[in-house]
Amino acid sequence: MRKKKSIGKKGKGKVFVTGASGMLGTDLYKIFTDAGFDVLSTDKVPLDPWTKKLDIRDISKLSSMVERYSPDYFLNLAALTDIEYCESNPQETYDVNAEAPIKIAKVCYELGIPLVHISTAGVFDGLKDSPYTEEDTPNPVNIYGKAKHISEVAIPHVIEDYFIFRAGWMMGAGERDKKFVRKVLNIVDGGADTIYGLIDMYGCPTYTYDFASGILHMILSDNESGLYNMVSEGNCTRYDVAKKMVDILNLNVTLEPVSGNFFEEEFFAPRPPFEVMENKKLHDRDIKVTRHWEQALEDYLNSYYKSRYGKKGSL
């Protein structure tokens, strides 16, 4: 094991970030820079002037950039996350979500840089009737989950100084939100008067702001390396999330409960019906880095959308 680089408690250090223009990367950049870190942001499609172009599959370029920058931590946020796209493009998904992270781990090992990698509740098959913990055995049901699971298994064999954090249903970053919350608002913006919410699929919304703050806390604290679940507390259905959104933003829509097969043509990739995780390792260490999903959702909506929606959700 290479010697871990020392990062001061005041947060002064350097981090190399991939996938920095995504939902998580957008919040992470602000949180880490506010904490005093120098952040080198990279993304395949940069959306900010401070972000450099980098495809994580180009390991030669990546290695050269990392060696020149000499960061205290490497944060790999880059991934393909559209479940249907992943299912239709398995080789690209394995290249980006499995092979590239393993090669990144090798680069980090050779340069003596601790690695942070992001995984997902999607590594589980959803057949359990209680929250998944880090002790449960993954059994992914789609290409996205399978690729992520490969990286989870391989990285610890490459480098000892690592964190892997599993996220749930992501929400955050406002206009860069590509997930359920933004999709609901897009439907409302399109003039629909009915929102359909699934009542038979369960998960844990994960606010990118809380998740990024959790990463910062973990790397600044004397915590054991390894794999951690890190989702918002509590669990819910998509219907529950939509209902909370309607209540918070006073959206003038009817909310209709539906089962999973209602969307089977649009969302054809298999999905686990139960993606609820417990942050057991964090709880066992008395570490609290995320809020309850309802509190996090309210904070997110109030921060980004409250002023945008007028009376009863009209724009």
Q: How far apart are CA 37 and CA 180, in angstroms?
A: 31
Q: Which of 130, 137, 147 is nearest to 79 (CA)?
A: 147
pLDDT in tens, the chain (315 residues): 333 444 444 457 999 999 999 999 999 999 999 999 999 999 999 999 999 999 999 999 999 999 999 999 999 999 999 999 999 999 999 999 999 999 999 999 999 999 999 999 999 999 999 999 999 999 999 999 999 999 999 999 999 999 999 999 999 999 999 999 999 999 999 999 999 999 999 999 999 999 999 999 999 998 899 999 999 999 999 999 999 999 999 999 999 999 877 676 678 999 999 999 999 999 999 999 999 999 999 999 999 998 887 444 443
Domain extent listing, the chain: 14-178+205-234+276-290
Distance, CA of 296 to chain centre = 15
**Backbone CA torsion sign across 155, 161, 166, 172:** negative
> Which fold is adopted by the domain 14-178+205-234+276-290?
Rossmann fold (3.40.50)
Within a 10 A sphere around the Cβ of 118, how many other Cβ atoms? 25
**Backbone CA torsion sign across 19, 100, 74, 154:** positive
Q: How far apart are CA 86 and CA 145, in angstroms?
A: 9
Widest distance between CA atoms in the chain: 59
Distance between start and end Cα atoms, the chain: 55
**Backbone CA torsion sign across 216, 80, 174, 198:** negative
Q: How far apart are CA 48 and CA 21, in angstroms?
A: 7
Does this model's pTM top 0.95? no
